[in-house]
Amino acid sequence: MAYADISIASVPDERRDAYRAFCEKAGSYILSLGALEVADYWGDDIPDGEVTSLPMAVKAAPGETVVASRILWPDKATRDAGWEKMMSGGGEGMGDMPFDGRRMIFGGFTELVTVSA
């Protein structure tokens, strides 16, 4: 059963190109660990909230944009093995994050329903 890692972060607007380069390098590296697909998204319609919101969740500052990433794995076992390799190597195949990783939120999800065209 498919497994996904989802993350949300906040990137300074002036680091958009650096973020794109990071995503390309990290994505290739993660695919080499067994992922099926890596997708990264630059937010352009992220509303502020009064009680909760994506910008609040990552403590986005003025001049920062909320970004989202999805890593699709064939199953949780492949994901766990991939993450173990990534962490044992210090993530060196990914390069330096052009954002404050302490404000990133992330988690792993078991596929429940997929509807496709």
Query: Coil, strand, or helix at residue 100?
Result: coil
Give the pLDDT band of residue 91 (cuts 50, 70, 90): low
Show the tokens assigned to 86: 């990534």
Rounded CA-CA distance 81/10 in Å is 27
pLDDT tens readout for residues 92-105: 777 788 999 899 99
b/e string for 45-68 if b means 16 or more Cβ within 10 A?
A: ebeeeeeeebbebbebeeebbbbe
Q: CB of 6 within 8 A of CB of 70? A: yes
Taking the model in full, what pTM does it have?
0.91
Phi, psi at residue 35, to the nearest 5°? -65, 150
CA dist 26 and 7 (Å) reads 14
**pLDDT of the residue at 87:** 86
Q: Which residue has the higher pLDDT, 82 or 91?
A: 82
Domains of the chain: 3-110 (3.30.70.100)
Q: Are 7 and 69 in contact, with CB atoms under 8 Å apart? A: yes
What was the pLDDT predicted at 90?
64
**How far is it, in rounded angstroms, from Cα 110 to Cα 91?**
23
Distance CA 14, CA 16 (A): 6
Mean pLDDT, range 76-96, rounded to an integer = 86
- pLDDT, tens digit, 9 for 90 and up, residues 23-79: 999 999 999 999 999 999 999 999 999 999 999 999 999 999 999 999 999 999 999
